Amino acid sequence: MHLLPLLLPLFALPTAYSWGAVGHEIVATIAQIHLHQPAQQALQHLLPNSKGHLAPIASWADRLRGLPYYSWSGELHYTSPLGDWPPSKCHFGDEGWKTTHDVLHAISNYTTRLSLDPSDVTSLKFLVHFIGDAHQPLHLTNRDRGGNDDRVRFEGRLMNLHSLWDGGFITKSVREQSNYTEALPSRQIESNLRGTIYDPYIRLLLWEGVRIWWRTSLPSWFICPSPLSLSSLSSSQLILSTAEDGEKLSSVVCPQTWAQETHKITCERTFPPSMGEEGEEHQVPELNTKEYYGPIRDGNIIEKLLVQGGLRLAATLNAIFEPEEDGEGVEGKGLLNFAWLEEAAAEGKQSERRVVELA
């Protein structure tokens, strides 16, 4: 019996909070694969119940926000630039922000907390989740509450626009993924997969995405030309320190740059033109069309966002847990553990023996 039809309903209707459980777990698993040994060892100590794997904690922040004591964390899942009304008005900070109690500051805050106290499991859980959120385009606009107020249809199913981007697209891709059902020639990748229904999708994202589609652009994903300025934070909130460790982290962790890049997708792809301007009535659109979904599918937009989130999360954790005496990356390997590219070539499979080094 094929389990796919039975298991898909479990995540066919994702939450409207963030990527949805599956999206966050994919981001976390991609990160897990690219951790250096010090980060792996630290996580095994911090997360004994999952044997150090990030995926089981990836949606913790979504589950938490519904509890009265943690209601304050709700705003930390998104950011709201003023004057932003995609696609007609695309403003990302040039007119200011509705609040600085947002996902960009949360990433910097919990990065600092974890770097100052590597045993802080709560900060780790928040950080894993919020880096994923920063790569979901509808978390970066306040239009219609990030699309939560916009009803749409996709493959005939009624949902809101936010939920479509959270999990509807991912569900469709996982359901239709027929390749990569067999193990890849990489112990590094396969040992970090968990036997989930989306394992073939992760294999695709790495084997074709990282190895082929985005290999030449990968280094640009880790350039921080404009690290987040946190001068507006109150003195009671932790920010990236000015110490040497803080400077190292600020060169790796740049949520403003990441989100600004993702916001271009928010403007160009998320809200269909048929939704019109503020206050205009519109019909509920079907979005599984060549005009709307075609460019998202053909451009591998969702796939790229998931991989970017995963690799940037891995780079962040590698920087946090890097041994103090080694400032150039663990054993000179750079920000990410890309040994699987060499590993695959050593197995004699078709590969160009090109290891991407991010320093």
Q: Which residue has the tokens 């690219």?
A: 34
Tell me, yes or no, if 84 is annotated catalytic: no
Those residues with Cβ within 8 angstroms of residue 12's Cβ, 6 or more apart along the chain or in another chain = 167, 171
Q: Which of 101, 129, 211, 263 is catalytic?
A: 129
Q: Which helix (H) or strand (E) holds 109?
A: helix 103-116
CB 192 within 8 A of CB 305: no
Is residue 322 classed exposed, middle or buried when 0-12, 13-18 and 19+ CB atoms within 10 A define those classes? buried
b/e map of 26-36 (b: 16 or more CB within 10 Å)? bbbbbbbbbbb
Residue length of the chain: 359
pLDDT at 351: 39
In tens, the pLDDT along 177-217 reads: 999 999 999 999 999 999 999 999 999 999 999 999 999 99
pLDDT at 323: 75
* CATH number given to 4-346: 1.10.575.10
- Stretches where the chain sits below pLDDT 70 are 1-19, 226-248, 278-281, 324-333, 346-359
Q: Say which DSSP state 137 is in.
A: G
pTM for the whole thing?
0.86
Per-domain residue ranges for the chain?
4-346
Tell me, yes or no, if 133 is annotated catalytic: yes
Backbone angles phi, psi at 89, to 5 degrees: -130, 110
pLDDT at 353: 41
pLDDT at 272: 94
Strands (E), the chain: 151-154, 157-160
Tell me, yes or no, if 65 is annotated catalytic: yes
Q: Which of 36, 105, 162, 269 is catalytic?
A: 162
Tell me, yes or no, if 166 is annotated catalytic: yes
